Structure 1
Amino acid sequence: MACGGGASVRGVGELVGIDAITAAAECIAGFVLRTPTLPSPGLTAHLGVPVTVKLELLQRTGSFKPRGAVAKLLSLSDAERAAGVVAVSGGNHGVALADVAGSMGVAATVVMPESAPSRSIETARAAGAIVRLTPDMTGAFALTEQLVLDGLTLVHPFDDPVVIAGQGTVGAEFAADAPDVTDVLVSVGGGGLISGVAAALRALVPGVRVWGVETEGADAMAAARAAGGPVPVTLSSIVSTLSAPAVSQLTYDHVTALVSDVLVVSDADAVRGVLTLAERAKVWTEPAAGCLVPAAQRVLERVGPDARLGFVLCGGNATPSDVTAWAQRFDLL
């Protein structure tokens, strides 16, 4: 089975559209879960407005990432698959590619920084991928570029319209299940998820506002918005799954056109959000999802008390020891 290639997803100067996202949904349906979208009484009580959560942490491999990975692998030619695929990742994209490629019989190499969660490294290896570690994320991107030059086929975590269309299926499902939301919060790393989700929601839910959320030291999209285009950033956040050294022109264009604002919160507040989600929403997330909670307070200050919030809970790949260590570091226990 083959999904559409980039030419059918996005022309030059165009954004990924709802037709491409709908096509991606049909293509990946047999490979990924249609995750639940549910009201959260606990978060509603905590924030004082109705809150609906999209539980992508229940997705295959524990994050939304398999959607884009499946879409991309199914779009490749036989020769591209036979060459083997490579991805750079702070954790979740690499695990997703390793899992999906393994199930399709495609050889995969995953390049991660040494700061990536040990669980992600072990999981990618267990799925059959070759894992290459570098001192930092900038080095991981550089090594990946070299491996592509050596002949491997790139599955980029965000700078690819096919991947964005796959991630956009999250937004299409959210729109179908909770069409009354007024404001949806989405985590931003390189921007693939928010680009796809915003494209779907803005097409399907009239008047909806989409808000991006980053952490300090992993704020490449906020920096790009301030600079008027993608710029490199110095990475220092604990949140490796959001730590892209720069966004791409493709994702920047989507966010500029479709997203109300990108909010930046501290690592400590992101971890506090993980604890709040566990206590109030009864879900176990990673800080890349926890950062939505403090950002929601700021969104409400701007849009008022009549909002109906949506959270895309992007992943749950944090161990109890991870969360305990972070909470102790920030004196949250």
Structure 2
Amino acid sequence: MIGISDIEAAAQRIAGHVVRTPTVPSPGLTELLGAPVTVKLELLQRTGSFKARGATAKLLSLTEAERAAGVVAVSGGNHGIALAVMAAALDVKATVVMPRTAPARSIALVEEAGASVRLTDGMGSAFELVTRLRDEGLTLVHPFDDPVVIAAQGTVGLEFAEDADELTDVLVSIGGGGLIAGVAAALRARRPHVRVWGVETEGSETLSEALAAGGPLPVAVSSIVTTLSAPSASRLTYDHVAALVEDVLVVPDREAVRGSLELAEHAKVWAEPAAGCLLPAARKVVERLGDGARLGLVVCGGNVTHREITEWSDRFGLR
């Protein structure tokens, strides 16, 4: 299990390479949800998402031989962007394997940063290819199944605990579970009475299905939210969620897109559906808890285009 000392060490390691993102109360979301809301604006992080933290920590941990050989990652978008940009900044050669369903802008950003991009037909085949490249000598920078990466993602929770006023419940989006594992570990140490809730979209139910089954297992990925579309959780992230997370809530893609529109209108931030899914889940939490809930939302990323939001809004009748 990742401990607070691991997270504090990660914070020292990545300081100066990443942004300490704002933690602010949101009057607009407070009015919308009927409970006090504080947001951690990780979409203002370098590369547009929290992923820069884990990628930076892993790159800084490499030996000289590993740096010379280069690194490889699999990504539906944000992890690949973060690794490509941070590897370029630290002068490490990077290869990023992405499914063809990844947002075109994300693929372009990875290429523009100087990384080599390998495209596959889906996330399952992407993970298979990245395993082969690792076996050929590249160092794998896994998006979530790595204690170095999880500890660095936990610095989000460390900052949230230090900068937020009193909270009762914090909501965190889940792909493979690296972010929520780290955030939950940090909050358990610094704010032990705060409940942590995970949020997934339908068709990307890695941790909710794992919890029901008693351990990680392959899941069928069909959600439009590719940045949350891991083909399975890992034992490492499963163990943290099982031990530290109150519950994992699942919301439809349509409501995740609606949440992005609501974040733009009420919180004045342009966030991807991977963050938009927090709002319908927050409504469920408020319904369960009633009066007294004080919510914290980790707004995890903003790498989405106007065209994508418009197309999804039309598709789901939200215009």
How many angstroms apart in 1 are the aligned matches of 2:256 and 2:130?
Answer: 29
Cα offset, 1:206, TM superposition? 2.9
**1:242 maps onto 2:228 in alignment:** yes
The residue type paired with residue 139 of structure 1 is: S
| Alignment counterpart, residue 114 of structure 2, candidates 128, 140, 165 | 128
Aligned to 1:275: 261
The structural deviation recorded for 1:301 is: 1.5
Q: Whole-Å Cα distance in 2 between the matches of residues 301 and 325 of structure 1?
A: 31
1:211 aligns with 2:197: yes
Quote the offset at 1:114 in angstroms: 0.4
SS class of match (2:192): coil
Deviation, structure 1 residue 19? 0.6
1:45-71 deviation line (CA, Å, top 9, x unaligned): 001110000000000000000100011
* Counterpart pick for 2:142 among 148, 156, 180: 156
Matched with 2:303 is 317
Instruction: Tell me which of 271, 282, 286 is aligned to 2:272.
Output: 286
Q: Which residue of 2 aligns with 1:12?
A: none
C-alpha separation in 2, matches of 1:166 and 1:314:
14
Equivalent residue letter for 1:314: C
In structure 2, what residue type is equivalent to 1:288? A
How far does the alpha carbon of each residue in 1:9-28 deviate from its partner, in whole angstroms, 9 at most, with x for none?
xxxxxx10001101100110
1:256-271 maps to which residues of 2 (within 5 A)? 256-271=242-257
Q: Tell me the distance in 2 between the aligned counterparts of 1:181 and 1:77.
A: 40
- 2:312 equivalent in structure 1: 326
Amino acid at match of 1:76: L
Kept in 2: contact 1:102–1:128 (CA 8 A): yes
Task: Tell me, yes or no, if the aligned pair for 1:265 and 1:294 is still in contact at 8 Å.
Answer: yes
**Matched position secondary structure for 2:39:** strand
The answer on 1:84 being equivalent to 2:108 is: no
Letter matched to residue 248 of structure 1: S
CA distance in 1, matches of 2:181, 2:34: 28
* Superposition deviation, residue 302 in structure 1: 1.5
CA offsets per residue over residues 141-189 of structure 1, 9 Å max, x none? Answer: 0000010011111000000000000000000000001141110000000
**Of 279, 289, 295, which residue of structure 1 is paired with 2:281?**
295
Q: Please give the TM-score of this superposition, normalised by the length of structure 2.
A: 0.99
Output one character per residue of 1:242-264: Cα deviation in whole Å (capped at 9) or x when no partner: 00000000000000010000000
User: 2:7 is matched with which residue?
Assistant: 21
Report what 1:147 is aligned to: 133
Aligned partners of 1:311 and 1:39: how far apart in 2? 10
CA distance in 2, matches of 1:212, 1:121: 27
Q: Does 1:195 align with 2:175?
A: no
Q: Does 1:232 align with 2:218?
A: yes
Q: Partner of 1:279: helix, strand, or coil?
A: helix
In structure 2, the partner of 1:6 is none
What is the alpha-carbon distance in structure 1 between the residues aligned to residue 290 and residue 212 of structure 2? 25
Q: Which amino acid aligns with 1:206?
A: P
The code of the aligned residue for 2:277 comes to C
Deviation, structure 1 residue 202 = 1.1
CA contact (8 A) 1:54 1:312 kept: yes
Question: Does the alignment pair 1:186 with 2:169?
Answer: no
**1:115 aligns to what?**
101
Q: 5+ residue gaps in structure 1? A: 1-14
Cα RMSD between the aligned structures?
Answer: 0.6
Q: Any gaps of 5 or more consecutive residues in structure 2?
A: none
Structure 1 residue 304 displacement after superposition: 1.8
Q: How far apart, in 1, do the equivalents of 2:188 and 2:32 lie?
A: 27
Per-residue Cα deviation, 1:24-54 (whole angstroms, up to 9, x for no partner): 0011011000000000000000011100000
Aligned to 1:73: 59
Percent of matched pairs sharing the same residue? 69
For residues 108-164 of structure 1, give each alpha carbon's deviation from its aligned partner in whole angstroms, at most 9, with x where no partner exists: 000000010111100000000000000000010000001001111100000000000
Per the TM alignment, residue 276 of structure 1 is displaced from its structure 2 partner at its CA by 0.5
1:56 pairs, out of 12, 26, 42, with 42
The answer (yes or no) to whether the contact 1:184–1:311 under 8 Å persists in 2 is yes
In 2, Cα distance between the equivalents of 1:24 and 1:194? Answer: 16
| Length, aligned pairs only | 319
What TM-score do the two structures reach when normalised by structure 1? 0.95
Q: How many angstroms apart in 2 are the aligned matches of 1:273 and 1:244?
A: 21
